[in-house]
Structure 1
Amino acid sequence: MQDGQRQKMADKSLLGLIFLCSFLKGTSGAITYLHVFSSDGESVSLPCENALPNCTSTTWMYNGESSSGTVVLFEEGMKRKDTERRERLSLGSDCSLNIYKATTEDRGHYVCRKLNTEIYDDNVNLHVLHVSPSSTHTEITPGRSFSLSCQLYDHDGYSCVRLFNKEGFELVWKNKTDVNLQSDSRYQISFSPEHCNSSLTTTLLDEDNNTQWRCEITKGEDVQTSVRYTVTYLVNSPDSKTLSGLSLRVIILIIEIAVFTTPTVILLWIICERRAEDRRRGQDTQNTVM
């Protein structure tokens, strides 16, 4: 290899090291990530440590589901006008990034970059928890099998595996009295760290109407966030079709009453009128004779 080519490769390697160093945090020389968890629809705040006052040296960047690459959200404390979802984003007094009513599309990797004499980055991963029933359910009634899916939306599947297998996070199902359902044989719970998902399946009982199950993401004894789902039986809350059928039957009954009773009423009225007329005529005859 020629000396010129070696020098170019060395220059590229040096530039790569300089770029990497701009993302390093702490004295260990390794990037550290802060994990922030939110439930779907919950407002959340992403911290930016040791930012200077007025946030004029603070830039927030995002890379995730709703972007095709790294997107600048705030630059030197000012919100970018071309930022999607900008109406839901704001900066706190400590330069934290506030997201109003976070959705699953807000998940991803955020960077708070502070420019002073050096560059300091805070790396934050936002995870959003969502619970929903299986799409195969057409009717929620006693005696039927029922499944719930607890999905942790993450930037990538590898991050989920690292969270659950290496960092000690768990997805846990509980009832409204805070009892862990994992050891209850009535419930079948399956967990897939590769898909960031835990599912709960059971056969519904009569007493399950208006009951509540909760999915939590925990680390040790600490609950990071949770989502609740309440089961409601349709039989106790008539739908529009039932109401429409009831209304139709009432209308038909009224029509039937009107059809069959109106001629009878008219006939009785005619008979009464004729009898009254006959009585008047009889009285007029008696008066004439006298």
Structure 2
Amino acid sequence: MTTRFKWIQMFSSVILVIQLTAAAVERSDFIIRDGGEATLSCENLKNDQDKCNGTTWIFSNSNTASITLFEKGKIHREAKNKSDRLSVTAKCSLVIKKLTAEDVGRYNCRRFSKSGQQEGSHSVAELSVVNIAEYKDGDTVTLNCSVSTYKECKYTVKWLYGNKDLSMSQSTCSARVIFTTSDHIYTSKSSEMLKCQVTHDGNVQEFIFRIQSFDQETGWCWWRFIIVAVGLAALITAAVVVHIWTRAAGIKVQLYENVVCNDDR
């Protein structure tokens, strides 16, 4: 009976520790397109911090050891490779600009008292980055939408035109669609209707991909041809004018010299 009571007591203690641990961590997911900007907030921040001196931001991913990004009110030296893209707001949120796949990972925000003791709960943000690539081969166009994630993929990815699913090939965290340059999708003036949709736990995000259609490209080429032609014509005209002016000036000099010579006689 005593042994059974001890097991129950131990099991209850473990459950309590798990509950307290879960309550002590504020978790959030961010999914941003590459080249974009992410603002990761540090939850439950106290207002008594001066320039976020008690806040520490730590980054980790599946490939490298943890790196300290921000500590004691300034960007840490370990983050020198991306320091020009990092900043911290007045509320100690971490801002990352010009996102790339290298920024994918887990960001941990912790707060410390002046004595160095960790205070309250800490925030954990997992950042995923969406990349959309376009490939052309003759009159064939391939669009690929992929999501780089921290650890395992938890997203469903697909292509939409308006609100309709496109015929595509899908794999883990990516979707690919293929069509020709004569397809209505490529020639449509409503190219903002082409979207990559990323879904997780009922949360849906859509990333618009605007295609520069064949007609638009051709029109731009014609404009470039016209601009170059006009510029070349202007240069030729200027050269002719300069040449004529130079010859005229030479004739005037010769006439002047002849007049002087005749006066000497």
- TM-score for the superposition, normalised by structure 2: 0.63
Structure 2 residue 34 is matched with structure 1 residue 51:
no
Q: Which has the larger radius of gyration?
A: 1
Q: In the superposition, relative to structure 1, how do residues 191 and 33 fare at CA in structure 2: closer, same or farther (>3 Å)?
A: farther
- Pairwise mapping of residues 228-267 of structure 1 onto structure 2 (< 5 A)? 228-233=209-214, 234-238=217-221, 243=225
Residue-by-residue CA offset, 1:90-117 (whole Å, 9 max, x unaligned): 1112211011222222111111112245
Which one of 188, 194, 199 corresponds to residue 218 of structure 1? 199
1: CA distance, partners of 2:21 / 2:150: 27
Partner of 2:28: 34
Partner of 1:77: 73
Compute the displacement of 1:64 (Å): 3.2
Partner of 1:179: 163
Q: In the superposition, relative to structure 1, how do residues 25 and 230 fare at CA in structure 2: closer, same or farther (>3 Å)?
A: farther
Q: Which amino acid aligns with 2:157?
A: L
2: CA distance, partners of 1:78 / 1:25: 34
Partner of 1:151: 146
Compute the displacement of 1:239 (Å): 8.2
1: CA distance, partners of 2:26 / 2:46: 21
Partner of 2:130: 129
Q: How many pairs are equivalent?
A: 201
Q: Secondary structure at the match of 1:216?
A: strand
Which one of 168, 175, 183 corresponds to residue 198 of structure 1? 175
Residue-by-residue CA offset, 1:137-190 (whole Å, 9 max, x unaligned): 233xxxx3322100111233x2x1xx13xxxxx323223xx323x2xxxx4212
Q: Which amino acid aligns with 2:182?
A: L
Q: Which amino acid aligns with 2:97?
A: Y
Q: In the superposition, relative to structure 1, how do residues 188 and 203 fare at CA in structure 2: closer, same or farther (>3 Å)?
A: farther
2: CA distance, partners of 1:105 / 1:123: 18
Compute the displacement of 1:82 (Å): 4.5
Q: Secondary structure at the match of 1:86?
A: helix
- TM-score for the superposition, normalised by structure 1: 0.58
Structure 2 residue 58 is matched with structure 1 residue 61:
yes
Q: Secondary structure at the match of 2:69?
A: strand
Compute the displacement of 1:25 (Å): 8.4
Compute the displacement of 1:236 (Å): 4.0
2: CA distance, partners of 1:149 / 1:74: 35
Q: In the superposition, relative to structure 1, how do residues 122 and 198 fare at CA in structure 2: closer, same or farther (>3 Å)?
A: same
Residue-by-residue CA offset, 1:218-247 (whole Å, 9 max, x unaligned): 34664335242314224444389x959x97
Structure 2 residue 100 is matched with structure 1 residue 103:
yes
Q: Which amino acid aligns with 1:138?
A: D
1: CA distance, partners of 2:66 / 2:222: 47
Q: Secondary structure at the match of 1:238?
A: helix
**Residue segments in structure 1 that go unaligned for 5+ positions in a row:** 1-20, 165-169, 255-290
Q: Secondary structure at the match of 1:105?
A: helix
Q: Secondary structure at the match of 1:41?
A: coil
Residue-by-residue CA offset, 1:4-35 (whole Å, 9 max, x unaligned): xxxxxxxxxxxxxxxxx9xx885547977421
- CA-based RMSD of the aligned residues comes to 3.4
Compute the displacement of 1:39 (Å): 0.9
